[in-house]
Structure 1
Amino acid sequence: MSAPVVTPSAALSNVRGSAIRDLLSLTERPDVLSMAGGLPATELIPQERIALAAQRAVGDRNLLQYTVSAGLRECRDAIARHEGIDDPEQVLITHGSQQALFLLAHALVDPGDLVVVDDPVYVGALQVFQSVRADVRGLPLTDRGIDTDLLEQWCEAGARPVIVHTVSSFHNPGGVTADDGRRAHLARLAERYGFWIIDDNPYGQLRFRGTEPTPWRHFGDRIISLGTVSKILAPALRVGWCVAPTAVIALVERLRQGADLCGSTFTQAMVADLLTDRDWLDGHVESVRDAYRSRATALVDALTTHLGSAAEFTAPEGGMFCWVRLPGVDTTALLGEAVEHGVAYVPGSAFAVSRDAGDCLRLSFATLAPADIDRAVTRLAAASGV
């Protein structure tokens, strides 16, 4: 009997596959030092403290029951305090921040609506907006964040985006952070032209150098912030959140009821415990920052030593990524040779919307020790012939 033919929907046909997911199968060789994945360092996950939170939660039978679609109240309270907002009703807990983005897109965007994203783009955002058949336009990323001057020109010429999505703190893949000027300008444009800003912020607490920008909530009322514990606690907890005006929260909650009814009461209770233990949490996050500072420094030193003037990059101030340009090098074509030399990265073309990123690549410094980072860049230099 032949296998049935599976015909994808029009919405799915519009979604680009993830080159990053496909790449992971190439990096499973034990001899390959991978700087490709966007994973937090496994050895920094606070296993013992999470186990204690799980032990406390499992002792309460009520935490093994369903909860409301917006999320467990004590977890929403904890997230509101964590995010510095007064009203927990502006918080909706989701199965990771990716689900929040998916639900927002389906709640706010109709087919053909204009959605503006960073270029290079966080691939998960591009897939979400393609799934709702939005008209996706890439706004170039600069060393100060997305180019809001160009966005203003587009709007003055008649463009009317419904959403502007950005990773404004330690961009994935670009590594840069939007400064206060860009944030304020984008917020003014949102008020003038009526679009929503979605600030996707999984990395904001991972600053290890420089000055913290002003939080988005101080810039206006048309801002939706997404957060997660995946990068500071553990991805497997699958607790993310959306912070938005209550009218937006109501729309997303209604849609969420048809998606999965509610999240895990058990893991939300664990996260509430962990976020509320401020002395422990502050110390833990600082230890993660220290480790990433050391690894980012090792990457900068290695790029400078082994690639020199052949590489253009900005030294990371936080997050997990460094965006590197190798002028004249096709990084997609180079990848196979790099893997043969024992190092993996993600080619820039995987993140491109409309601009040419073919000579760029994304390196993650989060999961390798400093000595391994130096070895990985040495292999990259050898593969590229520098």
Structure 2
Amino acid sequence: MPATLTTPTPTPRPTRTRTGLLTAVAVLLIALNLRLGMSSAAALLDALRADLGFSPLVAALLPTLPSLCFAAAGAGTGALARRLGAERTVLAAVVALTAGLAARAVPATWALLAGTVLGMSGLALCNVLLPTLVRTHFPERVGLLTGLYTTTLALGATLASAVAVPVAGAVGSPSLGLAVWALPALVAAGVWAARTGIRTPGAAPAPTPTPGERISPWAMARTRLGALVTAYFGLQALNAYAITGWLPSLLSGHGMSEGAAGVVLAVAQAVGIPVSFAVLALAKGPAGLRWAFAGVSTAMLAGFAGLLVAPMALPLVWAVLVGLGLCSFPLVLAVIARSGSGPAQTTALSTLSQSLGYLLAALGPLAVGLLHTATGGWTAPMVLLLATAAAQLVVGIALTRGRP
């Protein structure tokens, strides 16, 4: 009998392509949900307060809870990812997000707060791990995928801000209106679960840092890059969450209807959809990166100045300027995703900047709410935000000075 020679069967390229496509779709679906629950709560804050009757302290705390959860849960993301694996950790996070948003259907203050804590803790894990997953699965397309998922994130924020009030009216209560946003989170969980269950023949295992690859986030804090990225991330998040959490209330306080105020917030968040790609394209070189950081921070500063001096004169203009300022988020994420020698260092920098950064960011919405309650107006809160926007501009220039 003649000998039969067998050769290894190569891994089918279409299978890898399909897996990569499903991974990209799953990442984008998760990104879509990263702001839905937050933006809808901001647009419905006044309606929730009227319906549930909670105190001014709770009203100030509600926009602050996401940042606190991001800081607390984000600090433990690296340890959880080493135990479960990055992909399973993201799956657990999206399930927690879905459950938290659904719990807010109960028309009670305790359910609103508990659901927010659970859902935002899930978001914290996704926030930290998405840059690592993008770098691991798409190492040659980090800029493209970062632009796509931050654009999708902005699209979700815009959608929730624009339709939260009509949706709540259609379902009969602001609490049920918040819970509606658990449905897209459930879809994202299902797609990510399907992607996580796929094992492509010959493909590398899911990105999970081994014990030998562990890098402490606190070691990154002692580096110039770690300190500046953390400071910039915290300041941009403080400004973003303060203004998105309170902008509808600020405009309503000056006589604008709740629906119209939600649309203005949607405009601010929609601006980042087309602009993010242009900003990331500009930031590919050192000089472009410096101009991009300076430009978005200056736009935020100008938008805040307009809201302080004449909020009702040109609200859409101020919203566009604020929206340009919100593009600082994809910029700093791109810096994180491209930094370090591998996924372990990227995770360490992401954990450091997001845990400490969101802890700093939590002061923004809380301070704005307390200052508004104490003074009965919006001048003092906007003066505070002008100062933090100026600090963001200074740190951004320092971060890009001499950066290769």
Alignment TM-score, normalising by the size of structure 1? 0.29
| Greater helix fraction, Structure 1 or Structure 2 | 2
Whichever structure has more strand as a proportion of its residues is: 1
